[in-house]
Amino acid sequence: MLKELGRGLLTTFKMVIDGPVTTQYPEEKREVRPRFRGRHVLKRYENGLEKCIGCSLCAAACPADAIFVEASENSDEERFSPGERYASTYEINMLRCIFCGFCEDACPTEAIVLGDNYELSFTDRHDAIYTKDTLLEAVPSPEMTTPQTVEPGVYTRSVPEMKDPQD
Amino acid sequence: MDWTVWLEWAIKALVLVFTLLIGFGYLTYYERRFLALLQSRLGPNRAGPQGLMQWMADAVKLIFKEELTPAKAYKLVFFLAPVITMVPSIVIAAVIPWGPSVNLFGRDITQSVANINVGVLYLMSIASIAVYGIVLAGWSSNNKYAMMGGLRSSAQMISYELTLGLSMVMVILLGNSMSLVEIVEAQRNGWFILFQPVGAIIFWIATVAEVNRHPFDMPEAEQEIVAGYHTEYSGMKFALFFMAEYQKMIVVSAILATLFLGGYLGPGVDSFPWLGPLYMFIKIFILLGIMIWVRASWPRIRYDRLMALGWKILLPLALAVVFITAVGILLAQEVNPWLMWLTPILSLFAGWIATLMVDRTIRRKNYA
């Protein structure tokens, strides 16, 4: 009996020596895993053009019907993305989204990527609908903002040459 | 009688009451932090530096909570029960000596509110009063869970009080006095835990059962009877029960320190009397830490086994150890002072036999 009782005391005391495992959340944050599926980000090419071509494949793949895309025509004077069309409206309802990542899989241009931001909060149901402005990646430098005026005949191909994904 | 005596008593009583009240606040903090450490957590650390103001936040929350009185409760008793539980837990601390007497403003002041010559009896009698509050709370709530909790609690406290009393008898024999100051002074040659280790352990087990702490917290066994006797209590009335429980923890630790661990004695306490309260504080702190550690480690024992342990193991063991102590003292007086050391050896042997018997009972296959 004494042996068992002593072992119980030792077990808990070992925890004191090992120290707490708590992460003090708002102050210190844990690194997310490489494949973590957080808030979506709409990516850009290096020259600032949007990768999204407004094809709505993500909306079609979405099992929760959280994505709404509306496409418009590109022109060489007002170019948002390579190819014919771009997404003039891109909305994700974060209350519906289940973070399955199917949109990421469906995207032909790797435009939509699930990032590592998991701190989503809103106080209103309307705030839960993330628009293109919030989702779109920031431009690397101010002169690369879309729409851009480009030389005609350069950006004819809407889907880029793809490589095998590296994780 | 001189009016300054009254003033002295009033000041000492006020200091004691406020120390216990603040001590209660910080004991909850200490318990939560240490328990968290034992469970690989951090515990409350947000309110104030390192969470030191947590008890204040808890107090504010409890004061502002809505107080419910069940419609069919016996209102007067329902109201009085927390008070009856609370008062003895403070009053009992009156006889505990916190240090040797000090000389202040040209008068000798003892560091206890009342130095009465039957201090141990006082402790016993006040400790028994606390059970009334719990029983009355359980009964007046008009709730079967509260009633069960109250009944369990009273049965448990009455059972373990016998053991508690017997282990106090050992101290009275060893110290040859009932006054707590004289018992402490008698430990100058060696703490009583050295002469009577089994007595100290029995006393500790009995006090843990007295204050309804783990692993003997039957009256509050959540899985069985909700919150026991304070199921129907909320707000400040609940806080009073809570306070009573934690103050009893402090007080029984202080009593254990006084009776077995040399009380306020420690190196240099004669030249610096103010070290007395500090030594008491350290001893109480360690004893409370052990209580919390035990809470984190051991499961609650079943109710019938609790009663069996009290009546079939601890009571006979305590009786045997009282006998051994008496024989040891007699032999030391009549034959040779060195025979005093027969007491710890023989009582440890008795304690070993008791654990063997518990072992045998637990391992029996058909022991339901």
Chain B residues near residue A19 by CB distance under 8 angstroms = 40
Chain A residues near residue B355 by CB distance under 8 angstroms = 1-2
Transcribe A125-165 into DSSP letters. Answer: TTTTEE-HHHHBPPPSSGGGPSSB---TTS---SSPP----
Architecture of domain A33-144: 2-Layer Sandwich (3.30)
In this predicted structure, which of B193-197, B229-233, B314-318, B349-353 has the lowest mean pLDDT? B229-233
The answer to whether B143 and B233 are in contact (CB under 8 A) is: no
Q: How far is Cα of residue B226 from the mean position of the Cα atoms in its chain? A: 24
Task: Render pLDDT for B171-214 as a digit per residue (tens, 0 to 9).
Answer: 888 888 888 888 888 888 888 888 888 888 999 998 888 888 87
Which of B45, B214, B292, B297 to mutate against chain A (most A CBs within 10 Å)? Answer: B297
Q: What is the predicted pLDDT for the residue at B62? A: 84
Chain B residues near residue A21 by CB distance under 8 angstroms = 40-41
Task: Render pLDDT for B242-295 as a digit per residue (tens, 0 to 9).
Answer: 888 888 889 889 889 888 888 788 787 777 777 888 888 888 999 999 989 988
Task: Render pLDDT for A70-105 as a digit per residue (tens, 0 to 9).
Answer: 999 988 888 888 888 889 999 999 999 999 989 998
- Helix, strand, coil percentages for chain A (3-state, nearest 5): 20, 15, 60
Backbone dihedral angles phi then psi of residue A71, each to the nearest 5 degrees: -100, 155
Q: How many Å apart are CA A127 and CA A133, to the nearest integer?
A: 13
Which alpha helices (DSSP H) does B1-95 contain, by range? Answer: 3-38, 54-64, 75-91
pLDDT averaged over chain A?
A: 87
* CB nearest B296 (choices: A12, A19, A21): A12
Q: Write out the two tokens for B148.
A: 């069960």
Percentage with pLDDT > 70 across chain B: 97
Helix, strand, or coil (residue B255): helix
Confidence of residue B79 (pLDDT cuts 50, 70, 90): confident
Task: Render pLDDT for B45-77 as a digit per residue (tens, 0 to 9).
Answer: 888 788 888 888 888 888 888 888 888 888 888
pLDDT averaged over chain B?
A: 84
| Statement: residue B364 has pLDDT above 80 | no
Residue of B nearest to A14 (CA): B38
Which stretches of chain A score pLDDT less than 70? 165, 167
Confidence of residue B106 (pLDDT cuts 50, 70, 90): low
How many inter-chain contacts (A to B, CB under 8 Å) are there? 39
Q: What is the predicted pLDDT for the residue at A57? A: 92
Helix (H) or strand (E) holding B168: helix B144-175
Chain B residues near residue A14 by CB distance under 8 angstroms = none
With a CB cutoff of 8 Å and minimum separation 6, the contacts of B108 are B101, B102
Average pLDDT over residues B228-232: 78
| Statement: residue B368 has pLDDT above 60 | no
* CB nearest B38 (choices: A1, A12, A21): A12
Residue found under tokens 């034992």:
B38
Closest C-alpha among B203, B291, B280 to residue B245:
B291
The answer to whether B294 and B214 are in contact (CB under 8 A) is: yes
CA dihedral B86, B90, B91, B92 (to 10 degrees): 110
If one counts every other C-beta atom within 10 angstroms of the C-beta of residue B286, the result is 12
Q: How many Å apart are CA A70 and CA B366, to the nearest integer?
A: 75
Residue type, A151: E
Q: What is the predicted pLDDT for the residue at A167? A: 64
Q: What is the predicted pLDDT for the residue at A158? A: 81
Residue B132 vs residues B86, B156, B229, B327: alpha-carbon distances, Å = 11, 13, 12, 37
CB of A11 within 8 Å of a chain B CB? The answer is yes
Residue found under tokens 């110290």:
B175
* CB nearest A20 (choices: B41, B297, B298): B41
Percentage with pLDDT > 90 across chain B: 2
Q: Using CA of residue B317, residue B322, residue B323, residue B324, what is the dihedral sign? A: positive
Helix, strand, or coil (residue A72): strand
CB of A1 within 8 Å of a chain B CB? The answer is yes
The answer to whether A68 and A112 are in contact (CB under 8 A) is: no
Q: What is the predicted pLDDT for the residue at A68? A: 92
The answer to whether B48 and B42 are in contact (CB under 8 A) is: no
Confidence of residue B133 (pLDDT cuts 50, 70, 90): confident
Q: How far is A46 from chain B (nearest CA, A)?
A: 45
Q: What is the predicted pLDDT for the residue at A66? A: 92
With a CB cutoff of 8 Å and minimum separation 6, the contacts of A100 are A37, A63, A64
Q: How many Å apart are CA B344 and CA B230, to the nearest integer?
A: 41
Q: What is the predicted pLDDT for the residue at B211? A: 82
CB of A17 within 8 Å of a chain B CB? The answer is no
B355/A12 touch (CB, cutoff 8 Å), yes or no: no
Question: Terminal CA-to-CA distance of chain A, rounded, Å?
Answer: 54
pTM: 0.80
Residue of B nearest to A24 (CA): B42
Q: What is the predicted pLDDT for the residue at B1? A: 65
Confidence of residue B367 (pLDDT cuts 50, 70, 90): low
Domain boundaries, chain A: 33-144
